[in-house]
């Protein structure tokens, strides 16, 4: 049987987005997850190789987010289907940039393309969420949904999963600083308090609503006023050396909002031009280099496409 294969990329994502803890996320253009998927004549799923992961990710198909998503997808189709994967990790695990979510999205997206798109994106979302659950321990769509759909996504709720695609300003840019160390999502989640004063909940809700309104209205000043987080940032800042100094450097370099991406250690900052985004990147890297030797910087407009076929 002649093998049918496809090569796809899936984007990195920023989750939480300041006050949007567990309910907001958006996609960026770089870095990306790269994956090759082939149909074979032998039933079953097999991971041929994983590169770029320092041999840390499981090749057991019941423990890898990509193959778990495929298991659920194939169960709705022909259980005799044969699939093999090559995964090229370019989004570092534990970076706060949605590495596991990108794998969980890329695999079912690729198979769906090869099979002639028997599933809608909303159906693919459910498979990807089940794959991501292996890594996070629970269902969270704030990385998976923007990775799959592109752009900004608001997660209104679950059971069933209810997502809202948000428009955003065309001139909105994102600078990401990734200090080269890992933060485990489970560790970062344990730091979040279970209860907050009502006044803080009201403030956080107002900021989250203001951020959504700012995106929809292309109101940069409203976005800036709303980018304040009382829940995750104060707890997780302790995990990132020099975090508030890095944030201050971004704001002093014309950022309109800066916060932790997901569980960290990646830090993102909004701006309104490529020039400002580059300037912010230099400032953030300089500030972080006092505490962490190796720092990667990514500058991107908002990725509105999600995953795509490249070969």
Give domain limits for the chain: 4-166+304-309, 173-301
Write down the CATH number for the domain with range 4-166+304-309.
3.30.230.10
The single residue of 34, 84, 132, 233 carrying the catalytic annotation is 132
Measured distance CA(281)–CA(175) in Å, rounded? 6
Name the H helices within the chain: 65-74, 99-114, 121-136, 144-149, 185-190, 198-217, 220-226, 232-236, 243-252, 274-288
Cross-strand pairs, 169: none
pLDDT at 187: 79
**pTM listed for this prediction:** 0.95
3-state secondary structure at position 67: helix
Measured distance CA(218)–CA(220) in Å, rounded? 6
The single residue of 13, 65, 67, 185 carrying the catalytic annotation is 185
pLDDT at 246: 98
pLDDT digits (tens, 9 = 90+) for 32-65: 999 999 999 889 999 999 998 888 898 999 999 9
Q: Looking at the domain covering 173-301, what would its CATH class be?
A: alpha beta
In the predicted model, residues of the chain with pLDDT beneath 70 are 1-3
248 is an active site residue: no
132 is an active site residue: yes
The CA-based dihedral angle spanning residues 267, 104, 171, 167, taken in that order and rounded to the nearest 10 degrees: -120
């Amino acid at each position: 049987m002649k093998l049918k294969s496809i090569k796809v990329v899936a984007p990195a994502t920023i989750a939480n987005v300041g006050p949007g803890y567990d309910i907001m996320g958006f996609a960026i253009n770089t870095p990306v997850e790269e994956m090759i998927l082939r149909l074979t004549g032998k039933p079953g799923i097999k991971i041929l190789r994983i590169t770029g992961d320092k041999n840390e990710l499981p090749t057991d198909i019941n423990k890898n987010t990509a193959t778990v998503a495929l298991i659920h997808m194939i169960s709705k189709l022909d259980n005799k289907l044969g699939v093999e994967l090559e995964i090229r990790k370019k989004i570092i695990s534990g970076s706060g940039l949605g590495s596991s979510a990108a794998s969980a999205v890329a695999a079912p997206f690729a198979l769906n393309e090869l099979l002639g798109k028997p599933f809608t994106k909303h159906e693919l979302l459910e498979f990807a969420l089940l794959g991501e659950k292996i890594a996070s321990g629970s269902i969270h769509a704030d990385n998976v949904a923007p990775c799959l759909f592109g752009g900004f996504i608001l997660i209104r709720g679950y059971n069933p999963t209810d997502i809202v695609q948000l428009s955003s300003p065309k001139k909105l840019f994102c600078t990401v600083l990734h200090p080269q160390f890992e933060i485990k999502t489970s560790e970062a989640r344990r730091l979040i308090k279970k209860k907050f004063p009502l006044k803080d909940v009201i403030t956080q809700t107002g900021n989250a609503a203001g951020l959504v309104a700012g995106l929809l209205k292309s109101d940069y000043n409203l976005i800036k006023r709303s980018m304040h987080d009382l829940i995750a940032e104060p707890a997780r800042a302790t995990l990132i050396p020099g975090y508030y100094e890095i944030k201050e450097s971004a704001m002093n370099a014309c950022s309109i909002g800066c916060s932790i991406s997901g569980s960290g250690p990646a830090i993102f900052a909004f701006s309104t031009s490529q020039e400002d985004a580059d300037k912010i990147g230099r400032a953030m890297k300089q500030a972080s280099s006092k505490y962490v030797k190796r720092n990667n910087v990514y500058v991107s407009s908002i990725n509105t496409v999600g995953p795509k076929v490249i070969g």
